[in-house]
Each structure stands twice: as C-alpha cells, then as structure tokens.
Structure 1
Amino acid sequence: MFSVSVRTRSILLASAAAVATVSFARAQTAPQTLPPVVVEADKQDRATTNRQPTSAPAATLNAPAGPQGPLGVKTADQARHDIQQTPGGVAVVAAEDYKNNSVASTIKDVLGYVPGVFAQPKWGDDTRLSIRGSSLSRNFHLRGIQLYMDGIPINTSDGYGDFQEIDPTAYKYVEVYKGANALQFGANSLGGAINFVTPTGRDAKVNSAAIDLGAFGYRRFQGSVGGASGPWDAFFTASNQSAEGFRDHSYGHSTRASGNVGYQFSPDFETRFYINANDVRQRIPGSVTRASALTSPETAAAGNVINDQQRNIDSGRIANKTTIRFDATTVEFGAFAVDRHLMHPIFQWLDYQYRDYGGFAKATDDRLIGGFRNRLIAGVNVVNGEIDNKQYANVGGYKGSLLSSSLDKSKNTSAYIENSFYFLPNVAAIGGTQFLYATRDRTARFGASSSGSTEFNLWSPKGGLLWDIDPTWQAFANISRSAEVPSFGESSSAPAIPFWLIQPQTATTYEIGTRGRRPDLTWELTGYRANIRNELQCMYGAPGQCNVVNADRTIHQGLEAGLGVAVFRNIFSNIPDADKIWLNLAYTLNDFRFDNDVTFGNNQLPGAPRHFLRAEVLYKHANGFYIGPNIEWVPQAYYVDNANTLAADAYAIWGLKAGVDDGTYSMYLEARNIANTAYIASSSIARTANAASPLFEPGTGRAVYAGMRVKW
C-alpha cells in the first residue's frame, strides 16, 4: 500500500492543484434571512432538484423545485424530500443548522437535536453514540451504526466505526436513518446508518474561511475552495484543530482534508472522484470512578498517564461514484479503498493496519405502472478488508516486546431491494428485504491469539405504510428485521467463548409515527419496540470488566419527539416575519431491558439515560441576529452495569449563544455549562460494578467559544 503521512501531503497538494484550475464564476444564491436550528429546518435551499421522475404527483413535505444541479449529489432540501419517502424515523441535518452558530467540534454538535440519538463526547473527538440503544455494550469505538461518506461505507470491514476521522465542518448536510429505515443503503443494523455528504464545486458559496477559538486551548482553522467550469467542478476543504482539553492528559490535534472532482459527460451522466485524508493525535484521559468524575472531573486515570495512553490515526481514502439517468431510472455505481493506521497505546501498544476496499451499485426507478406510482430501489454492496493486528507491551507509551499478532480478514456482500407502491395517490405500501453474506477469518501468527473463522447468511425483510395526509404532514408505520454481525472484538476468556462462536444479533422492530414541516411548526413523534435475540452484551467479567457475547432476549423500546415552533412573532416590529422567538426541542425516552434473563431477569440495560432532553429558545431577527439560552437535562440516573447496582448521575446543564448570520458573514459567541456543573457525560458499562469501578467520563466544565466565518 502506501505511507499514509506522505499520502496525506500528496492528496492535499494534488487536490489544491486540481481545484486551482477550476473557474469559480457561477451564480450565487441569495443569503438566508434567518439563522436555522436543527428541528426547525424552516428555510428552503434555493439550489435544486434533479429531473422529477415520470410518476404521478404525490403529496410530499417541502418538495424542492428549480434548476438542475449536480446529478449525483442532492441539495439538503432534495435530500430531505427524498428521505421523507421512508416509512420510519429519519432526519436530515443541514450544515447551516450547526456550523455557523456553534463550535461544531464533535458529532454531538451535529446530531444533538435529532430525537432518538444519544451522543455524548468522551475526550477529544471521541464520542459515545447510540441510536435506539445500539452499541451500548461497546466501551470503545463504535458498533451497530453504519457510517457512510457520500453514500460510500467508511466503517472498517468487520463493523467498527470511529469519529476521529469525521470533520463536522466538511459537510453540506448529514442524513440519519434509524434502524432498518437504512435498508436502501444496504444497512441492516439496530442503530441504522448515518451519511455525511460533502459539497461539490457546483454548490453556491463553497469558498469559505473560518476560525474558532475557545476554552481549554481550543482552536480550529478551516477553509474550503471550489468552483465549476463547463463539465468540470471541484471542491476541497481542510481544517486544523487542537485543544489542551478540559481534563488532564487530554491534549489532541488533528488535520483533516477532503474533496471531490466531478465531470458531467451530459446532464444525465456524471462521475465524481472523492479523496479524504486524516492525521489525528489524541491522548486519552480515561474512565474514572463516579466519585472522581463528580468531585475532581479534570483528573485523568492514573494508569492512562503512566502508560501515556493515546489513540492516533493516519488514514487515506479514495473513491469514485458514477451516476447515470435513463428517463425514470437512475443508476449509481462505484468503488473505494481505505488505508488506515491505528497507533493505540492503551493496556498494550496496539499497532493495527487496516486495508479496506469494496464497491457498490444501486438503481432507483420511479414511474407509473398501470396509472399508479411505483418507486423501486435495488442494489448491492461489497465491503472487504483485512487488519494486520500486532500488539506490543506498553512501556510508558512506547512499544515493548511483541505479545501477539494475527491477520484478520472480513468479507461482506449485501444485496437489497425496496419497493414503494402508491395504491392511492397519497398512500404507499412499502416492502423490501436485504440478504447479507459475511465471513470473519483470523490467522494467528504469534502469541495468545487463536485462529478461527465464521460465516453468516442473514435475511432482513421489511414492510410498511406511508401516508401523506397533506403536503406538510405524514404518518407512517413499519415492521422490520435487522441483523448485526459480530466483529473480531466480541469474545470472552472466562468462560472461553472465541469470536467465531458468537451469534449475530437480530431484532424485529415495530414502529409508528408522524412528522410535519410548516412555516411556524415542525414536529416528529415516533414510537418503536425492538424484540432482540442474541444482543451483543457484557455477559461476563469481573466488576468493572466487559466481555461481549450474546444475551438471550432483550427489549429496546422508546419514544422520539422533536418540536420546532414559533411561539411569538413580530415582537419588536409590525413588518411581517421581521422577528420571532423559536422553541427547538428534542426528547428521547429509552426503555431498554433484559427479557426474563436467567441471570439478570428484567433488569434495565445499562449505558443510556431513560429520559434525555435538549431544548433551546432563540430570538431571531430577519437581519440574521439571534440570541437565546439552551438546556440539556437527564432527570433520572441510569445504570452502568447489567446487575443494576451502580448508576451514573442525573444532571442539568445550561448555556447561551448569540450571533449573526447574513448568509455571507457569520459570527457567534457560545457559552456552555455556565453554572460549571460537575456531571457525568457518558459511561462505559460492565456486567457488575461497584463504587471502585472506573466507568465514568466527566463532562466538560464551563466553557466559552467564539468563531467567525465568511463564505463567497
């Protein structure tokens, strides 16, 4: 393969050179009049849709209209229109909803107001992320949610995900598909999928420069450049970020870059090449006891300091996506390759080299059949790779002697189909299924690792209804199956259960809900219940330890509620729409528990709060000025062990932000945790725990951030 550090520099230089050749002359869109917030999403993108399918007009929420843009990349409004043809919980978060009015340094800043998503930073860019209780047993990395960049997989081939390579400033919008609602991506895990979409050179105001500064030595510089000339367009963005960190031993810095170059052979034929490179260095302060987290939150775990624990990543990624449109049918296909080097001194010095590659093809057909609209999506994904796995003794942060080595190979092929038939002009019956063939194979080369392999063949069907009650209001219901193949990290040493004996996690989920988007009111209300077999859980281990194997039966159920409403209008002016006070709220009810387990009965599953609320009230003026308070509230402590003997802590923190955004220039000032409350932001989980168990991640204390951005 290649040296990633050299590759990173080469990609940056090559991309900058490619972009420099492109003319930036193109029409500019009018500036937005009001700063947006996530649940509200009350402004329309002025850029546009691709050609509409030859189908009967159906009532849809905020259907976009206008001239044609890039064939293979939608605007945020187009993405929102398309995603709302899903009979279940989904969301689109536009960049303007978070990037111009907050520090936007972690995935929580992006997804914090999406109901059903629990995202809590741990240290640096690392975040504990769960959707509908996915991945709660994973105390490190991410599992149970499939991540995509521009529709192309970015998880490792055995299923892990990381947020250190996600740069929130790089995207034009983010799509969230909860659970099996991600079937059209070929994703079938309990948590669903998240797709990060980058701009193109044909977007308006893609040239930008920004600076963010704030508490605990935080600073970030970001810039982007793009444009179009004839059939060519290009976009490139890069950021450099560093922070001393709130806690001891939490210093980190990163440089991230991404871009794409597109060529339109015709209005119906486009190809686009993507590049992404990351250089991340991050020290790990570690989990501590509950008492330490609440009384001395800045203090790092002693072992983390002694062993200089870190998570460092060098990565490079290349991909291509080609889109061809044939009247009512659009076909997308492409390929990708990733080289990732993880340098991770923790209890041992982990030296992992990931090499992942694959391809995909997807067809979308939207037409009239016998006078009825019919929308068919079918595709196939191939994600393969290997991990050159070496583990050394950690001697004060340096490599000691080699302790173990293996070569871990994964193969995943998924085929999926989903059909929406509008048996009434505004009511669709939706059915689909996915088949997944996956293998995991380990070849032990040295030390305690053992060779083994396993194979999976899994079907995941789905059926649902989507009712467009009027052009601004939908109701939906579905029944779906999801399946999650275990990774190489699942196993237990006592009792001896190697990874190849772990069964796939499967779930049957029932979901019903409604959503709407009106000028003064947006809402989402969804209820769901997932009956899970063989959930990957911490079933063995001494107090404070976690060996992930299969539980028998578990239940995940809950409510997801989002609300955006103009509670007052024209406060200081009689001019229509001059100003307003907007309430933005996201509430999640989590009820996760064992189902008559032999050991744990009907205990609550640990790791997530039962109630989680985020809300803000903003005064917004038509000139772009906004100001208002916000709150995050966990009113009830939640357990951190299966035995339900140790809990985190209830908390409430509040903040304030103010700024101005006229569509070209934006400035913000943001204060977080103004009361300097000591609280537990996230936790690891265990089979059993006690007061001495180091499972808790303290939340950040009082912090103030400020930033400026210009776009042209």
Structure 2
Amino acid sequence: MRAKVRFSTQPRFSLVTAASLPLLLAAFSPATLAAEESTLGTVTVTGAAATGAQQDQKRLQKVAGNTAVVDNRKVEQGRAANAEDVLALQPGVFAQGTSGTAANKISIRGSGLNTFYQGYVLGTKFLFDGLPITGPGGTQEDFLDMQAVDHTEVLYGANAYEYGALALGGAINMVSKTGRTDPGNYARFEVGSYGYRKQQLSTGGVVGDSDYYINVLHNERDGYQDHASNEGRGIAANFGHVFSPKLQTRMFFKYREEQLINGNTLTRAQLKHDPRSNLVPTGRRKDGTTFIGNKTTYTFDDGARLEVGASYNNYPLLNGWRYAVAPQDWRSKDINLTLRYLRTGDTFLGLPSDSSVIFSNTRAYLADVKAHSRATGLRTQETNYTGSRDTVLTLANELQLAEDLWLSSGLSFVNIRRKGEIEASTLTAANPSNFPTRVEYVENDLAPRLGLRYQINPEFQLFSNVSRSIDPPVTWQLGSTSNPFLYDVRPQKATTFEVGVRGSHGIFDGSLTLYRSWVQKELLTVVVQQATATQDQLTATSNASPTLHQGIEAGLNALLWTGANGDTLDLRQAYTLNDFKYRHDERFGDNQLPGLPRQVYQAELAYRQASGFYASLNLRAASSYYIDYANTWQTPSYLLWGAKFGYQAPSRKWEVFADLRNLTNQRYASATNTAYDAGGRDSANFYPGDAFNVTTGVAFRF
C-alpha cells in the first residue's frame, strides 16, 4: 500500500457557514482583543473546591500542545451511551458508533483512520485513571461505554507522553468517579428508539480514611438495522484508602459481559433506499472482560511524588459466535506496570524546573486466537501472540526560561516486541508472496520531544512543539485465522510539528491548533474480501509508502447572553480539517487517504435557566470522503440536527431529559470499510447511521 501529499490552504468545499465562521474566529480578532472584559472572563469560585475535571484541565494547560478535558457529568444531561456521546464537540477527534452502544470508530488526527472497527479501536492509547487498557493487541471497545467515568482527558499525539503513549493519536484517559467525588446513591434509567434501554445504579461514600464507589449497569438495544441487537451488563468499582498525608492507594475493578450483533455494510444505493437491510450480520460475544488495577501514591518530604500502578486486563472474545462460517475464539490477557516520578519546585541553571520520569510496560502474557469450522466443528487454525510487549521510559522536563516563557523537553526510550506464530492450520489458501508463518522482532527506538509555551498575557497562551511518535502494529495486524500465513508489518513512525493558541477573553474561550505529521510506514488496512453468507470478511494490513497527516483543530465557546436571574445562552463550536495524503506514491500519487471526512463542523446552542430547565439545538456536518485508496468512490456528505430538553431540580436530587437526534431523518454513513480500488462502482462498504431517534431518561439522587 503506498502514498503522497500536497498541502492545500483552499479546502475543496467549506462546512463553515457565513454565520458560524465569524464566531469561530472572533476570539482571536483585534476587535475582540480590544473589547471590554465581560462576565465570562476568569471565574473565581469561593467556598468550593475545584472539581477533578477543573484540576486536570488546569494541569493540562501546562502542556505545550493541544489537550482537552470533557466533564462527563455535563454529557449525562442527555444520552450517554458510548464514547461518541462523550467525545462530541472535540475538534480533531472523530468518534462515531454503530450497531448500538458498543462498536466505535475513534480517530485522533487520522490515527487508525481506515481500520475495520468491529471489535478494536486503533491508533490511540486508552487508560483508566492512568492505567492502560490498551495493550499489544489493541483496545477492546467493551469499556468504552463510559460507565462510572467522572471526566475524560484527551491528549493529542505526542502530548500524551506523560502516559507513555506511543500512538499517533495520543491518549484518552478516563478518570473514575469515587466515593469522595460522587457520594450517595444514584439511579438512572433511559429508554429510546430501536429498543434502547439502559439501567444504572451506583452508591459511594467515605468511611473514616477510606472511600468506596460501586456502579452497576445494564444496557440493551434491538438495533436500527435488522437483526442487530446487543445487550451488555457490567460493574465498575473502586476503593481508596489514605494511610497518611504522604501515602494513599486505590484499587479498581471493572467487569463487563456483552453480546453484540453488527449490521453488515451496505452500498450507497442501499444506504439511500434500504438502510435497515442486514443480510450478512456478524456477532461478537464477550464472556467477562475484566480489569483489575491498583495505583499507590507516595509524597516525599521535598514534595516529589511517586505513583506506582499495576493492572491486569482480560479480554475474552468469541468473534462470529453467530452467523460466521469460521467462529474465532480470542484470548488476550495483559499485565501492565506503570511508574511516574514527578518533581516540582527544583532549579536548573538558576531557573525554575519541573521534571518527571515515566515508565510503562504492557505485556501480553497470554494471547492467541483459535478458529474452527461451524460446519465440521474442527479447528482450522491457531495463531499465538504471547510475549508481545510495549515498553516506554520517558524523561521529561519543564524549564521556565522567563516569567512568561517555558521550554518543554523530553526523550522516550521505546522497546517493542511483536510475536506471531501460526501453530496449526488446515487452511489451503494460496500464499501469493511466500509470506512467513512466524513473525518475531524486537525494535528499539528514541522519541524526542521539544516544545515552547508562551503566555502572551493573562488570557492567551501560545504553544508549539516538534515531536516523534512510534506506533507499533497490534498483534492481529500480523494476521489471525483467515490465511495460513502472516504479514511482517513494522511500527509506523511520525515526526509532527504543532502550533496553536488557547485562552479566553470577554465572552469567548477556545483554542486553535495547526499540525503536520510526516509519517513513515503508516499502517494501512484494506478489506480484500467482503463478507457473504458463505465466507467471512478478510482484511490485510501493510506498511505504506510515506504519507502526510495535517489539519486544523478549532474550538470556540461563547456566552452569548446572561439574564439578570442567572439564565444563560451559550454557543459551543468545533471545526476540524483533515488533510491526509500519500506523498508521491508509485501507484496512488498524491491521493487522499480514505476513511475519514475531510471537514467536520459541530455546534451546540444551549439555553439554561437558573431554575433548572435547559434546552439546546445541535448540529454535526461532515463532508464526503473516499472509501478506496484509488479515490474513485465517496461517501455522501451529511448534516445532522439534534435537540435536547431537560430539567434538573435545584436540589439536584432528580433530573429528567429528552435527547432527539437526526431530526431530519437523513440517511447517511456513520463509518466505512476501506477498499483498495473501487473502480468507480458502488460497493458494500457503508455502515448506516441511525435515522431519527429519541432517548428519554430520568435520574435520582438519594
């Protein structure tokens, strides 16, 4: 698979309307900078401690690059079924779910942009409370239901160095609710279109120096497409104890079972005329995804802090448990160790200096896949990945060069081991290029990072960085059970330049970031055989010729009106330009990489009364994009409207809401498969998005 690129400052078409563009840029215009400061400036809260989301947002503003924090409690004022709901309105992040509450396609800056996504999310490292759930085998989407999450950190690209992230997309860290942040009892019930139902109960509290939090969840959905039902149930719990002001610890436990039937991909004609068609459904069953972890923190006399984390991840998966010709039994068990030593208040060459040492090791101590024939019941192939690992040691420093200027530097030592071996196979498929049946390698690399952060004034901050990322293939990209051979794919590597500004003034706050990533050996996946009633879908991954990822990430919030009684009207906007291309590829020249919209614009206009009533109108617009590397066939563009209404009692003891989506009942593709060359012909590569749907919910605290 090959590639090339040329940066264009003139998008092929614009989703930014004449009404929205001035608002998107107003925060950075001379007129705005000269405007009189209004009530949305710096808000000082007295008598109440900052929330965990506010504390982490303040911490991440010290990163010389783009970051964001999402307060999940605000998302819960509507449907909060999956990562798509939480990551909406985040520029640079593409998050779409299909087939209900589980399968998500999540991409940051084009990471994993064209991988088939019914089971794993690629190109981004996911963590719970700083403990990874992403391993050498990728990320199972089971835990992306966002159960019991207080807030979510998004760290773009190499800005996720503090979590030992190797991925081009960076990291998403989900911070749990605890007995201290969410005390008391809570019950939540949601029902909606296409048989959607969700029930959630939690309890938390503080007992002496200890606290506890337990959350149980059940969800189900009949599905928009025919024969595409899903059901899941799980528990999330954590228990913390403070031994002394210097020593504290917290245990984490998550468990989830899930049965999910995916709808098949459709042609564009079917998408328009028969979007609920599902002639080739596929099923996945998770009989107990388990996460057990501990994080212990010790604070030294000089204020330095040591965080020690360890976790165990178990991701059993029966892929194709219904309908598939050759069901596959996957076992993935990871052991993770993380160490973070953080120092603040030091000096270097007479200048204030903060430094950190971060170690992360994730090892697949048991990982394999076995396939068997549904017709005969006999095993057809077994592939073993045990021993694959990702190890990262990062040294980082923040040096204050002047009162308003900081230099960020870092160096990561990366050790990657990948192992894949076909231990048994009865398949007779041809081996066209004498591919091996065993692939094993160890790669060592360095990933430096250098950034600057300049505080223009108390309101605005400039940042810029140059960084290196190393993104290894997940184990199954070497091959699994579809062919009696493996692919010797190697880590992709990228050098990224990023520059941006963030801040607030008057009624505005927001950020604007531009980045360019020169990628070598990008891991690209293609569907080489469509699923039918008699054969399973086949995919292949290879290292591409040089590619380029570049784009714009712009977010702007504006408080448009404040009433005398505290009522507000505010507007949130997010705009993303994705420009992902080959660079002088022998076969595809400068073609666009398929898989993601070139432009995405999201907005929400929200009215809130001090008495507790709230209402909002939102939209999501996405341009068309190619579904093949030859750039011969595209998805249709779409514009989706939505609305929310709700009431939260002043006592916050109860809340009720209604969440309406796709108000115009538009038929669109939420995601696609990727073809090598569609030849300009319609083909079954489109996942249909939900038609008009309504979710209502009620929540109680007692």
TM more than 0.5:
yes
Residue 64 of structure 1: how far off its partner (Å): 8.9
Q: For residue 416 of structure 2, what is the amino acid of its counterpart?
A: A
Tell me whether 366-375 or 241-250 shows the greater mean CA deviation. Answer: 366-375
Change beyond 3 A, Cα 1:204–1:275: closer
- For residues 539 and 157 of structure 1, what CA distance do their matches in structure 2 show? 21
Q: For residue 52 of structure 2, what is the amino acid of its counterpart?
A: T
2:360 is matched with which residue? 381
Contact 2:422 2:484 in 1 (8 A): no
Say which SS state the counterpart of residue 82 (structure 1) adopts.
Answer: helix
- For residues 425 and 207 of structure 1, what CA distance do their matches in structure 2 show? 47
2:448 is matched with which residue? 461
- For residues 325 and 639 of structure 2, what CA distance do their matches in structure 1 show? 34
Change beyond 3 A, Cα 1:289–1:507: same
1:114 is matched with which residue? 90
Alignment of 1:16-95 (within 5 A): 75-95=52-72
Contact 2:497 2:517 in 1 (8 A): yes
Say which SS state the counterpart of residue 187 (structure 1) adopts.
Answer: coil
Change beyond 3 A, Cα 1:157–1:502: closer
Question: 2:697 matched to 1:707?
Answer: yes
Contact 2:420 2:478 in 1 (8 A): no
- For residues 534 and 180 of structure 1, what CA distance do their matches in structure 2 show? 18
Contact 1:206 1:235 in 2 (8 A): no
1:320 is matched with which residue? 294
Count of aligned pairs? 633
- For residues 664 and 376 of structure 1, what CA distance do their matches in structure 2 show? 44
1:671 is matched with which residue? 660
Alignment of 1:218-257 (within 5 A): 218-257=196-235
1:525 is matched with which residue? 512
Could you report, residue by residue, the CA deviation over 1:415-468 in whole angstroms, capped at 9, with x for unpaired residues?
A: 011111111122210000111111112343210592331111121111001123
Say which SS state the counterpart of residue 219 (structure 1) adopts.
Answer: strand
Of 151, 172, 197, which aligns to 1:173? 151
1:335 is matched with which residue? 310
2:570 is matched with which residue? 582
Tell me whether 201-210 or 524-533 shows the greater mean CA deviation. Answer: 201-210
2:402 is matched with which residue? 424
Tell me whether 166-175 or 584-593 shows the greater mean CA deviation. Answer: 166-175
Contact 2:115 2:526 in 1 (8 A): no
Question: 2:541 matched to 1:548?
Answer: yes
Change beyond 3 A, Cα 1:273–1:212: same
Alignment of 1:92-171 (within 5 A): 92-99=69-76, 101-124=77-100, 125-140=102-117, 141-158=120-137, 160-171=138-149
Contact 1:294 1:698 in 2 (8 A): no
TM score, norm. by length of structure 2: 0.86
1:290 is matched with which residue? 268
Say which SS state the counterpart of residue 640 (structure 1) adopts.
Answer: coil
Q: For residue 407 of structure 1, what is the amino acid of its counterpart?
A: N
1:391 is matched with which residue? 371
- For residues 464 and 172 of structure 1, what CA distance do their matches in structure 2 show? 30
1:11 is matched with which residue? none
- For residues 133 and 206 of structure 1, what CA distance do their matches in structure 2 show? 41
Tell me whether 186-195 or 655-664 shows the greater mean CA deviation. Answer: 655-664
Of 163, 184, 188, which aligns to 1:210? 188
Q: For residue 80 of structure 2, what is the amino acid of its counterpart?
A: A
Change beyond 3 A, Cα 1:646–1:681: same
Residue 501 of structure 1: how far off its partner (Å): 2.6
- For residues 471 and 271 of structure 2, what CA distance do their matches in structure 1 show? 33
TM score, norm. by length of structure 1: 0.85
Q: For residue 304 of structure 2, what is the amino acid of its counterpart?
A: T
Contact 1:62 1:77 in 2 (8 A): no
Say which SS state the counterpart of residue 475 (structure 2) adopts.
Answer: coil
1:693 is matched with which residue? 683
Change beyond 3 A, Cα 1:245–1:201: same
Contact 2:182 2:204 in 1 (8 A): no
2:31 is matched with which residue? none
- For residues 542 and 169 of structure 1, what CA distance do their matches in structure 2 show? 36
- For residues 215 and 604 of structure 2, what CA distance do their matches in structure 1 show? 30
- For residues 236 and 678 of structure 2, what CA distance do their matches in structure 1 show? 43
Tell me whether 269-278 or 371-380 shows the greater mean CA deviation. Answer: 371-380
- For residues 334 and 63 of structure 1, what CA distance do their matches in structure 2 show? 34
- For residues 121 and 248 of structure 2, what CA distance do their matches in structure 1 show? 33
Residue 694 of structure 1: how far off its partner (Å): 1.7
Change beyond 3 A, Cα 1:675–1:604: same
1:563 is matched with which residue? 556
Contact 2:582 2:591 in 1 (8 A): yes
Residue 414 of structure 1: how far off its partner (Å): 1.0
Say which SS state the counterpart of residue 110 (structure 1) adopts.
Answer: helix
- For residues 541 and 221 of structure 2, what CA distance do their matches in structure 1 show? 33
Residue 130 of structure 1: how far off its partner (Å): 0.6
- For residues 629 and 441 of structure 1, what CA distance do their matches in structure 2 show? 50
Say which SS state the counterpart of residue 490 (structure 1) adopts.
Answer: helix
Q: Which segments of 5 or more consecutive residues in structure 2 lack a partner in the other structure?
A: 1-23, 25-40, 428-435, 531-536
- For residues 205 and 452 of structure 2, what CA distance do their matches in structure 1 show? 41
Could you report, residue by residue, the CA deviation over 1:470-520 in whole angstroms, capped at 9, with x for unpaired residues?
A: 344221100011111112233589xx9965632210001110111124673
Aligned-residue identity in percent: 30
Question: 2:170 matched to 1:195?
Answer: no
Tell me whether 257-266 or 325-334 shows the greater mean CA deviation. Answer: 325-334
1:647 is matched with which residue? 634
Could you report, residue by residue, the CA deviation over 1:198-238 in whole angstroms, capped at 9, with x for unpaired residues?
A: 01111244531111111111111111111111111111111
Could you report, residue by residue, the CA deviation over 1:619-675 in whole angstroms, capped at 9, with x for unpaired residues?
A: 1112221112111111x3110110001100011111111112243322111111111
Say which SS state the counterpart of residue 210 (structure 1) adopts.
Answer: strand
Could you report, residue by residue, the CA deviation over 1:524-565 in whole angstroms, capped at 9, with x for unpaired residues?
A: 110101011100114794799642101111011000111110
Residue 348 of structure 1: how far off its partner (Å): 2.3
